[in-house]
Amino acid sequence: RRAARSAPWARVEAQRAVENRRVFVLDEDEINRTVLQFMLADDNETHEFGDLAAALAKGEQWPPDLVLISALQVAREGAGLLGRLREAWPGVKLLVICEAADEVCAATATAAGADDCLTKPFKIEPVRRKVDRHLGRKVELKIPVVVS
């Protein structure tokens, strides 16, 4: 009898399955929420929210390990928002979603207490690497080597 082999795309990395983390995506833009949820759902329990009240309600019983929050939400709620989220969810990592060309957004977000920024347009591998790094997972380092 031959052992059944699974297709390479069907293999699950066992360590990732064991360390499944909860990620909240808090963004008014439904497309952003859907894209990020799609990119992160394989390795994380990912929940998307269009408003702060829904995220806070869910987080009372199921606190997140990491929150991706839009810069617009931070601007709307005020600079104290990130501090309030840290009080509600001790140990949470906060990443603010900014436009790539908006350098002021990144500086303002980190000054307000964000751990980092996630820039748009989203690309799957950089998004996953950044989220993994902030969740404390090992991130594969790829260094190109040029041989002459």
Sign of CA dihedral 15, 16, 22, 23: positive
User: Taking the model in full, what pTM does it have?
Assistant: 0.80
User: 80-97, pLDDT tens digit by residue?
Assistant: 899 999 999 999 999 999
The mean of the pLDDT values for the chain is: 86
CA distance 82 to 77: 9
Confidence (pLDDT) at 140: 67
User: 10-50, pLDDT tens digit by residue?
Assistant: 444 544 445 689 999 999 999 999 999 999 999 999 999 99
Local structure of residue 101 (DSSP, 8 states): T
Confidence (pLDDT) at 12: 47
